[in-house]
Amino acid sequence: MQARPERMIPVAELTGWDIETDVAVLGFGIAGACAALEAAWAGASVTIFEAAGGSGGASALSGGEMYIGGSGGTHVQRDAGFTDTTEDFAAYLTLAGGPDPDTAKIALYADQAVAHFAWLQEQGVPYKGNFLPGKIIEPEGDDTLIWSGSEEAWPFYTKAKPAPRGHTIQFTGWGGGRKLMDILEARVRAAGVTVHADARGRALIGDNGAVAGVVVRQNGRDITVRAKKGVVLATGGFCMNREMMRMHAPEALRCSTPLGTIDDGSGILMGQAAGARVIHMNEFFVTCPWYPPESLVKGIFINQAGQRFINEDCYHGRVMRTAVAQPGDKVWLLADNAIFGRPMEMARAELAAVGETWEEVESELGFAPGTISPTVAHYNEHAARGKDPVWHKAAKWVQPLAEPPFAALAFTPSESMFSYFTLGGLETLPTGEVLDLAGAPIPGLYAAGRTTAGLPRWGAGYSSGLSLADSSFFGRLAGRRVAARG
């Protein structure tokens, strides 16, 4: 038996089942954990197979932040003085979904996100409950609520009333995702879910048009797993699979750092082998932590033509996705002495030029005379009145770059810390049912997280916490649905 993700194995080829379970979950990131929990609570026997040595996946690499709002606001939002209607939340998610938002998932999540937040707390995920203002990437302390997207930035605020929606697990410093996964892992084990680590899903097993199980590689041999109710694919995206990146999202290969653990696309391939469609496979998230210090948001980014290309106060990932789409191999952030501060070491930005005049900076960067300096002059002229008529940066981030010395920081996707992961994948119903090429659910096959195209599906619309929110919420729905299968 040659087991590989790209081929579904007919049950007739098997000599027997090594393991039987109601529900087999592939992947023990947050999507798999939440699917397993709900399926187990609904009475199904559940087995998780995780290719790595333990739980976590890319979820454990994250900040442990969830994008949550609507229903008037979470108690944290309300305590901080923010109301957040379901309509505004849905409107924001729709903009964030780009040219093809998933309206069914948006409607459901916008309506139920606050209840999902309560559920997370019931699982023991702690939240300090305070609001941390400012323009930050992740709290350095153990704070909860932050502005984690483009809510206050043009054009988003014109369509959806802004509210901060990033809810961060109580954890001091960056990287609360590990703690989040530890808590959920404990809940999964308490629910009686069987967990196999170092167990990699190799191929689905098909029986007359339905998915009947999965072949798993463990301890050097292939074992056959009968999944009586179904298989949940939650193996993440494909940022670590260069061949898939080449085929679908070659633009991302300009960037230095795939952000994942295994993320080899095997879940997507297994789904395709079962007849599933894939959508938006070219889309990816990318960012570079170009601030803190937040004063740099008052700077302006330019491309190789000396032109601005975005309002710098929108979400850092939106800024950097747009930066990667610019011609040339790098972009520059221009700052004056009043706002300058070195970005974090990890950003690997280069101080490319310093000068007493913008003409000097221009020349030192090797630009033609009059390429950068008029861009700054025009920006400064309007900034003196708190305006940015071209890109609509909000007034509080707009001030003339007029205090020498002046500096240009270079950000190079291939060299600086540009980390990316994929957003395209299997198309699913909100219930996690995987759709075939004709748009009909494939019996016995479910998926969640970045194996699917979910709420986050447009690189220029990402907000921190959107993938964890999508993966956990729709992971839960997938778990409930598979457990209910007859």
Give φ, ψ of 275 to 5 degrees.
105, 10
- How would you classify residue 159: left for phi > 0, otherwise alpha for psi between -120 and 50, otherwise beta? alpha
Nearer to a copy of itself by Cβ, of 279 and 354: the residue is 279
User: Should residue 250 be labelled a site residue for a copy of itself when binding is judged by CB under 8 A?
Assistant: yes
Contact 362, 369 (CB under 8 A): yes
x-marked contacts with a copy of itself along 418-457 as a string, rule CB under 8 A: ---------x--------xxxx------------------
Whole-angstrom distance, CA of residue 65 vs CA of residue 312 = 22
User: Should residue 364 be labelled a site residue for a copy of itself when binding is judged by CB under 8 A?
Assistant: no
For a copy of itself (CB under 8 A), the number of binding residues is 48
What is the DSSP annotation of 251-298?
A: GGGGSSEE--SS--SHHHHHHHHTTB-EE-TT-EEEE----SSGGGGG
Residues ≥6 apart with Cβ < 8 Å to 184? 30, 33, 34, 37, 55, 123, 125
- Collapsing DSSP to helix, strand or coil, 131 comes out as strand
User: Should residue 228 be labelled a site residue for a copy of itself when binding is judged by CB under 8 A?
Assistant: no
User: Should residue 330 be labelled a site residue for a copy of itself when binding is judged by CB under 8 A?
Assistant: no
- Minimum separation from the CB atom of position 334 to a copy of itself (A): 16
User: Should residue 380 be labelled a site residue for a copy of itself when binding is judged by CB under 8 A?
Assistant: no
Give φ, ψ of 122 to 5 degrees.
-60, -30
Q: Which of 480, 423, 408, 417 is nearest to 457 (CA)?
A: 423
Looking at 210, 382, 399, 441, which residue binds a copy of itself (CB under 8 A)? 382
437 CB neighbour count, 10 Å cutoff = 12
x-marked contacts with a copy of itself along 289-328 as a string, rule CB under 8 A: ----------------xxxx----------------x---
User: Should residue 4 be labelled a site residue for a copy of itself when binding is judged by CB under 8 A?
Assistant: yes
Contact 299, 339 (CB under 8 A): yes
User: Should residue 12 be labelled a site residue for a copy of itself when binding is judged by CB under 8 A?
Assistant: no
Q: Of 132-140, 292-300, 348-356, 388-396, which part binds a copy of itself (CB under 8 A)? A: 388-396
Nearer to a copy of itself by Cβ, of 295 and 380: the residue is 380
Nearer to a copy of itself by Cβ, of 191 and 325: the residue is 325
Whole-angstrom distance, CA of residue 380 vs CA of residue 75 = 41
User: Should residue 256 be labelled a site residue for a copy of itself when binding is judged by CB under 8 A?
Assistant: no
User: Should residue 149 be labelled a site residue for a copy of itself when binding is judged by CB under 8 A?
Assistant: no
Nearer to a copy of itself by Cβ, of 265 and 475: the residue is 265
User: Should residue 246 be labelled a site residue for a copy of itself when binding is judged by CB under 8 A?
Assistant: yes
Looking at 18, 52, 54, 98, which residue binds a copy of itself (CB under 8 A)? 98
Residues 127-146 that bind a copy of itself (CB under 8 A): none
Whole-angstrom distance, CA of residue 408 vs CA of residue 362 = 9
Beta-strand relationship, 425-426 and 433-435: unpaired
User: Should residue 159 be labelled a site residue for a copy of itself when binding is judged by CB under 8 A?
Assistant: no
User: Should residue 207 be labelled a site residue for a copy of itself when binding is judged by CB under 8 A?
Assistant: no
